[in-house]
Amino acid sequence: MSDLPEPDPTLVAALRADLAAAGYTADAVRDAWGPVADDATGRGLLGPALRALAGRADPLAVLARTLYLGGAASVDEVERALPALGAAGLAALGLARIEGETVVPTALLRPQDYADATGSGQWWVASDLDEAALGGALPTGHVLGVGGASLTLAGLQLTTPAERVLDVGTGCGIQALRARRVASAVVATDVSERALVFTALNAALNGLDGISTRSGSLFEPVAGERFDRVVSNPPFVITPRVAGVPEYEYRDAGFAGDDLVAAFVGGVGDVLAPGGTAQLLGNWEYREGRDGLDRVRDWVAASAEPLDAWIVERERLDPLAYAELWVRDGGTTPGSPEYARLIDAWLEDFATRRVSAVGFGYLLLRRTPIGMPSLARYERLGQPVAGALGPHLAEALAAWDRLGLLDDDALAASTAVVADDVTEARHHRPGAEAPTVIELHQGGAFARVLDVDPALAALVGASDGDLPLGVLIAAIADLLDVDAAALRADLLPRVRELVFTGFLRLG
């Protein structure tokens, strides 16, 4: 894989102007090849899209065919599609090569929509050719484009303002672009020089200053510095450390087992400013019958700086399913001898550590603010989630800090309102007057469903911001003919949970 040249500002400006003039947007590309082809493209099947664009020589179609799908085009077609940059300029940026009268893409450049609390828009994001464009396995130095995991982390990023953000393992730079929307400055690091050039190119192409790049592993490039926020989609994939197993830079940092995530958790406190947060995706192993989340607890406890931790396990795979996932990800065809050999290497590696399963999820860590109670929350949430979680996570942290300042008397004196996305469901046995099950459903955030008893349901139902919680609890105790002090002692801790998880909001 050839090295990318440092992006020339004049050429980048010409490319940006040409892309805008051609209307090269995500919506326009989807409209150009239609919904069936768009669905197929998302699955790595390019034929329907290429057929939909066949015979078209307009700039949008040429750009979609070459820069989105990675297909070749004539020099004349590219010259017309990119009149300011030209085919030679595209090659000078390292995004294509010219073979006679044909332009052959050496990278992808795709439009990517974004939306967050501050607005919506679009980026153009360059990355290496994917499996579909290459027609085979990926090179080990591959720089990944925007995929499901990177979009997940982008949606998880806190939406509150920050001064300095560190993006560890930046890849094509999508997390850095996202962080720059709320931060004054972003430092993006990676062990791959090619990834750093892609990040610099994407920042320049989208007109974003304030994003700098540094080479190195984990926190080495920023030793002694402090950041308000750290984000990372690190190369956490568990890979056998044996000869003959490809080590892809975008997913494998050379650590054994889940040691990379352990090293990140153990070291991130050193680069966080007081109260600073870190967010990352990661894997953790279930070893020798020990719960994977308990192992993450150990990593957090080993940090030299006290850390708040909110860990959410979204999925758990057995060793075979995990091995198949990542062998296929590298482009090896199921059923082939090479596929069987790689699967066996993964299973043997897991067996040496007596791994029974691998968990995947989100880690939110915070350097515990002085004088505040520590947050230690480890949970499994497998239900589908709609929309970005960043705003909810920010609200939950703010709620935790506020609750930490309220003793039970102060909480009882507070008012609360039910969040707009909360609904109640009651289930009755046929002919029964009283419900056997009462559920609170959350429409946003983590889409939690909680079983509640009649007392808590009554309190939530009455929480309209008018009366203090203590007054409502006393009235409910009188209605249910139970001891008011005992009911208060039972309900207030659960109110704290409802406030943190977003079912209730304090007035």
Q: What is the pLDDT of residue 311?
A: 98
| Per-residue pLDDT reduced to its tens digit, 231-275 | 999 988 999 988 888 888 888 788 889 999 999 999 999 999 999
| Per-residue pLDDT reduced to its tens digit, 6-53 | 999 999 999 999 999 999 999 999 999 999 999 999 888 999 999 999
Query: Given this chain, do its domains 114-318+361-400 and 406-506 carry the same CATH topology?
Result: no
What residue ranges of the chain have pLDDT lower than 50? 1-2
Q: What is the pLDDT of residue 433?
A: 85
State pTM to two decimals. Answer: 0.92
Q: What is the pLDDT of residue 276?
A: 97
Q: How many whole angstroms separate alpha carbon 195 and alpha carbon 293?
A: 31
Q: What is the pLDDT of residue 2?
A: 47
Q: What is the DSSP string of 212-227?
A: EEEESSTTGGGTT--E
What homologous superfamily does CATH list for 114-318+361-400? Vaccinia Virus protein VP39 (3.40.50.150)
Domain limits of the chain? Answer: 9-105, 114-318+361-400, 406-506
Q: What is the pLDDT of residue 108?
A: 97
CA distances from 298 to 375, 379, 506 (A): 15, 15, 33
Residues 6+ apart with CB under 8 A from 396: 310, 500, 501, 502
Q: How many whole angstroms separate alpha carbon 221 and alpha carbon 227?
A: 13
End-to-end CA, the chain:
58
Which residues is 168 bridged to in the sheet?
A: 189, 232
CATH number of 406-506: 3.90.930
